Chain A
Amino acid sequence: MQPISKNLHRRGESWIEKGLAFCAALFVIVIAIITIFIFARGLPILLKVGVADFLFNTDWRPTSNSFGIGTMLVGSLVVTTASLLWAVPLGIMTAIFMAEVAPPRASRWLGALVELLAGIPSVVYGFVGLVLIVPFIRNYLGGNGLSVLAGAIILGIMILPTIINISRDAIRAVPKEYKEGSLALGATHYQSIRRVILPAARSGIITAVVLGMGRAIGETMAVVMVTGNSPIIPAGVLSPVRTMTSNIVLEMGYAAGDHQAALFATGVVLFVFIVILNLVVNMSLKAGAANGRR
């Protein structure tokens, strides 16, 4: 076997490759440092309180050393679920519209608008929610308006771009022959979409929903501005609610000692949750690719 040198440098250029490799290595270094520092600050109290107690105990009284984020965990799950409930169907329908129904020009335009929707900062969404949606709910539905419902509406809008873009790409990636085969059998366009295209794009659409969920759980500013933030288990959609992320941003300003550590522990919970979600998506995507689908 001949020794094959991959060495394609001129004199004095080998340090360039090392420098570039270092840049790439920084990604790994950075995520390692993030993990270490968040865990170092949050893990001790998480273990002291006990993971189950920390997660499911609904008693959050940091001043008297009682750290249970159960209420906020439920809050995050409720608001996220409520937002998915309407954003997922609308997002998937829009994706189908763009990939299969709309004329190419309309589809391109809508694509650009969805990009813009994705680019608007969370704080602007929160603000619009606060000045537009909250008063609307207060005036027409009751309560003071700061509610699960307001959070679900704003969060839903915010995750629409994620759901639309990823599902649309998944639908577009379905081989043309599938659809043509179905049409050739006399199926209508919509029958083909429902029976052939959507099943073939399923793993991509699930990915879209999962990533949308990840975004919703992690979102902070928009939620904190419209949900009222009372640390109670919400009794209905008009009741106020406090999420894990809201809890962090509201209390970090003055928390110290164990209280601050407990907020970092909440960060650990979020971090672990998101990383697991990403790894699952990553692996299921690879499994999908291995099945011969792109």
Chain B
Amino acid sequence: MDNVVSTKQEIKMKSVDLQVFYQDFQALHGIDMDIKANHVTALIGPSGCGKSTFLRTLNRLNELIEGTTIKGQVYLDDQAIYSKEMDVVGLRKRVGMVFQKPSVFPMSVYENVAYGPRIHGIKNRGQLDEIVEKSLRAANLWEEMGGRLHTPAARMSGGQQQRLVIARVLAVDPEVILMDEPASALDPISTSKLEELIAELKRAYTIVIVTHNMQQAARVSDYTGFFLNGQLIEFNRTKELFVNPANQQTEDYITGRFG
């Protein structure tokens, strides 16, 4: 299955010589990476190596941090996202993001999912109902929450909240979904549910996921990038990278010999 798709892979996003500075500190040193459509790309590396920074440049969320400057370019379907013409609000609709800590809005389950579509101008109640159901189903949450759409989202369990956040992202119908350690606050059962979900979602979406869990990267991703000190040390098919790393530092890291 993987081989069939891989013969003619389309590149969804692409970073070219991407550099990020926080004030004077350079967090990324010229990253070049191709992100393939309808695949899962995992980003791994020790804490502070720049994974989150890279992820957040893909939908220009880094700009929210004062004092950030960015050099280089990122393309989404051949369109430069760091350009004057780019509509940032529209970009973020196309490139959704799931954060480490599930942060549901202080509203009902329904309103959380309907938030995005409403923002983007959908007012029709029937249409909203449909989107909410579809998104909750896609996030494997409909079974559990379908009957309790109007309870406050804050009352759900952590795992349910994380899937709700994913449903919220799906509801705006993005093309790419960025996930920053989405399972780090979850128990093992919720984590495996989330991993199943990611495997299903890649049929319709392009996914980039940051994880500290090597097994998780190996299980869910098709491609893996290893970051170290703001540099992309190695980028390859996940199977290759884990079985046969080209770089000594990569091997040290994935075998746990990293000091």
Query: Do chains A and B interact in one complex?
Result: yes
Task: Assess whether A10 is in contact with B89, with CB atoms less than 8 Å apart.
Answer: yes
Chain A's closest residue to B121 (CB) is A10
Q: Contact mask A2-25 → B, CB, 8 Å, 1/0?
A: 111111111000000000000000
Chain A's closest residue to B84 (CB) is A3
**Interface check B201, CB cutoff 8 A:** no
Task: Assess whether A4 is in contact with B89, with CB atoms less than 8 Å apart.
Answer: no
A contact residues around B86 at 8 Å (CB): 5
**Interface check A1, CB cutoff 8 A:** yes
Task: Assess whether B63 is in contact with A6, with CB atoms less than 8 Å apart.
Answer: yes
Contacting B at CB under 8 A, from A166-217, are none
Q: Contact mask B73-106 → A, CB, 8 Å, 1/0?
A: 1000000001110101100000000000000000
Q: How far is the CA of A107 from the CA of B28 in the complex (A)?
A: 49
Task: Assess whether A2 is in contact with B88, with CB atoms less than 8 Å apart.
Answer: no
Query: Which of A4, A5, A8 lies in contact with B69, CB distance below 8 A?
Result: A4
In the complex, how many angstroms separate the beta carbon of B165 from the nearest chain A beta carbon? 21
**Interface check B70, CB cutoff 8 A:** yes
Chain A's closest residue to B21 (CB) is A1
Chain A's closest residue to B81 (CB) is A2
Task: Assess whether B82 is in contact with A8, with CB atoms less than 8 Å apart.
Answer: no
Chain A's closest residue to B70 (CB) is A2
Residues of B in contact, count (CB < 8 Å): 13
Task: Assess whether A5 is in contact with B73, with CB atoms less than 8 Å apart.
Answer: no
Q: How far is the CA of A1 from the CA of B18 in the complex (A)?
A: 11
B contact residues around A9 at 8 Å (CB): 89
**Interface check B219, CB cutoff 8 A:** no
**Interface check B193, CB cutoff 8 A:** no
Contacting A at CB under 8 A, from B24-76, are 63, 68-73
Interface centre among A1, A2, A4, A6 (most CB of B within 10 A): A2
Q: How far is the CA of A166 from the CA of B89 in the complex (A)?
A: 43
Q: Contact mask A28-46 → B, CB, 8 Å, 1/0?
A: 0000000000000000000
In the complex, how many angstroms separate the beta carbon of A1 from the nearest chain B beta carbon? 6
A contact residues around B84 at 8 Å (CB): 3, 5
Chain B's closest residue to A13 (CB) is B89
Q: How far is the CA of A4 from the CA of B89 in the complex (A)?
A: 13
Task: Assess whether A2 is in contact with B63, with CB atoms less than 8 Å apart.
Answer: no
Task: Assess whether A2 is in contact with B73, with CB atoms less than 8 Å apart.
Answer: yes
Q: How far is the CA of A47 from the CA of B252 in the complex (A)?
A: 79
Task: Assess whether B73 is in contact with A4, with CB atoms less than 8 Å apart.
Answer: no
In the complex, how many angstroms separate the beta carbon of B59 from the nearest chain A beta carbon? 12
Task: Assess whether A5 is in contact with B71, with CB atoms less than 8 Å apart.
Answer: no
Chain B's closest residue to A6 (CB) is B63
Task: Assess whether B89 is in contact with A5, with CB atoms less than 8 Å apart.
Answer: no
Task: Assess whether A1 is in contact with B69, with CB atoms less than 8 Å apart.
Answer: yes
Q: How far is the CA of A6 from the CA of B67 in the complex (A)?
A: 12
B contact residues around A1 at 8 Å (CB): 69, 71
Task: Assess whether A5 is in contact with B70, with CB atoms less than 8 Å apart.
Answer: no
Contacting B at CB under 8 A, from A230-272, are none
In the complex, how many angstroms separate the beta carbon of A78 from the nearest chain B beta carbon? 49
Chain B's closest residue to A4 (CB) is B63
Task: Assess whether A8 is in contact with B70, with CB atoms less than 8 Å apart.
Answer: no
Task: Assess whether B88 is in contact with A8, with CB atoms less than 8 Å apart.
Answer: yes
Q: How far is the CA of A259 from the CA of B89 in the complex (A)?
A: 62
Chain B's closest residue to A2 (CB) is B82
Chain B's closest residue to A10 (CB) is B89
In the complex, how many angstroms separate the beta carbon of B186 from the nearest chain A beta carbon? 31
Task: Assess whether A2 is in contact with B89, with CB atoms less than 8 Å apart.
Answer: no
Query: Which of A4, A7, A10 lies in contact with B82, CB distance below 8 A?
Result: A4
Task: Assess whether B71 is in contact with A7, with CB atoms less than 8 Å apart.
Answer: no
Q: How far is the CA of A90 from the CA of B84 in the complex (A)?
A: 61
In the complex, how many angstroms separate the beta carbon of B85 from the nearest chain A beta carbon? 10
Q: Contact mask A144-161 → B, CB, 8 Å, 1/0?
A: 000000000000000000
Task: Assess whether B71 is in contact with A8, with CB atoms less than 8 Å apart.
Answer: no
Q: How far is the CA of A5 from the CA of B81 in the complex (A)?
A: 11
A contact residues around B69 at 8 Å (CB): 1, 4
In the complex, how many angstroms separate the beta carbon of B136 from the nearest chain A beta carbon? 27
Besides A1-B71, A4-B69, A5-B84, 14 new A-B residue pairs in contact (Cβ under 8 A), listed by A number: A1-B69, A2-B70, A2-B72, A2-B83, A3-B84, A4-B63, A4-B68, A4-B70, A5-B86, A7-B88, A8-B88, A8-B89, A9-B89, A10-B89
* 18 residue pairs bridging A and B, Cβ less than 8 Å apart: A1-B71, A2-B70, A2-B71, A2-B72, A2-B73, A2-B82, A3-B82, A3-B83, A4-B63, A4-B68, A4-B69, A4-B70, A4-B82, A5-B84, A6-B63, A7-B88, A8-B88, A10-B89
Task: Name A's B-contacting residues (CB within 8 A).
Answer: 1-10
Task: Name B's A-contacting residues (CB within 8 A).
Answer: 63, 68-73, 82-84, 86, 88-89
Minimum-distance CB pairs A-B, first 5: A2-B82, A2-B70, A4-B63, A3-B84, A1-B71
